[in-house]
Structures are given as C-alpha cells and as structure tokens.
C-alpha cells in the first residue's frame, strides 16, 4: 500500500519501549470490525485483538483486550473486578478517555491512564495484530511485548460459547 504510515501516540509509545513491530495498513470499513482487517491482512481473526473502552457503574473507564473472533462476557469481567456491572463506553466518551477515534483505538499511548484487562489466552499467542492508533492501521507484534508494555491484568472473560467456537472445541 502506498499510503504513508501514520506516526500516532501508539507508535511513539512502542518506540519508547523498544518494541519490535510491523506496521499493517488496510482499507478501513465502517462497522467492518476485526473480520475485515483479518481478511485484508490474510490472518486469523483470533490473532487480531480488539481494544474496547468500557466502564463500571461508577463511570470508571478501563481498557479491555479481546480476540477479534470472541465477545467479552461483561458479567464475568464484572465478577472478576467485584463491581455491579460493566458496559462499553459511548463512542464520544471512549474517544475522550483514549484520545483515539472508535475504530482506531489503541491500548498504547492513551490520553488517560486506565487499567488494562486482557483475555488471558491472548498472552499465549505468538504474534498479534492490534490497533496502531488510527482507523485502517494495525501493528503486528509479539503478544509478550504487549504484556510487557501494557502490564495488563490477565483474566478469562471471553463469552464461553464464543471461545469454544474460536478454538474449535466444544
């Protein structure tokens, strides 16, 4: 792709932490999600990690990282965090917390420091693809590097039915 690679706050953060990464540009589609990016890059949607900005009942924001082909069980996440409920932030609220537009949200270099919760199985993958801070822009890096930089809390918060489908088990 001849498009110039963006230098986002996420890229600055990765460089600051000496993370080896590969920039991956693709044609962004509104509401296309991880299925579109995985297909465009020719990779498994399970390796494409979505970055979600959620909040608890006290409006405390958090970053939630999940496999592209799985859904977050907000009920399980709330139970782990000992809060009443967790919901996705409205797009304008998510933008304000992260400093990124929805569809281009990266967990790296967010405007506001927030706790990061990662589906534990992500940490066991080799390479992952995660948003680089702009729509149509992912970065490929080692999962262990994302864990090193983000220092996430590793939890099992995938909807069990979705996780079984994505791993091929039942």
Biggest CA-to-CA distance, the chain: 48
Q: How many CB atoms lie within 10 A of CB 60?
A: 13
Helix, strand or coil, per DSSP, at residue 141? strand
Residue 160: the pLDDT is 65
Q: Give the separation between CA 96 and CA 85, rounded to whole angstroms.
A: 21
pTM score: 0.90
**pLDDT tens-digit series, residues 72-126:** 999 999 999 999 999 999 999 999 999 999 899 999 999 999 999 999 999 999 9
Rounded to the nearest 5 degrees, what angle is found at the Cα of 1, between the Cα atoms of 140 and 123?
A: 10
Among 3, 8, 114, 10, CA closest to 52 = 114
| Homologous superfamily of the 26-167 domain (CATH) | YbaK/aminoacyl-tRNA synthetase-associated domain (3.90.960.10)
């Amino acid at each position: 792709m001849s498009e110039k690679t963006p230098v986002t706050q996420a890229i600055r953060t990765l460089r600051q932490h000496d993370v080896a990464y590969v920039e991956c540009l693709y044609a962004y589609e509104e509401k296309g999600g991880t299925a579109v990016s995985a297909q465009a890059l020719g990779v498994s949607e399970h390796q494409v990690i979505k970055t979600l900005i959620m909040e608890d009942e006290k409006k405390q924001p958090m970053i939630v990282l999940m496999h592209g082909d799985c859904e977050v069980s907000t009920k399980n996440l709330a139970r782990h965090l000992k809060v009443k409920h967790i919901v996705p932030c409205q797009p304008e609220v998510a933008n304000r917390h992260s400093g990124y537009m929805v569809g281009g949200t990266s967990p790296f270099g967010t405007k506001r420091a927030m706790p990061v919760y990662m589906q534990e199985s992500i940490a066991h993958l080799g390479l992952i693809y995660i948003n680089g801070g702009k729509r149509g822009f992912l970065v490929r890096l080692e999962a262990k590097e994302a864990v090193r930089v983000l220092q996430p809390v590793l939890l099992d918060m995938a909807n069990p039915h979705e996780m079984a489908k994505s791993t091929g088990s039942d």
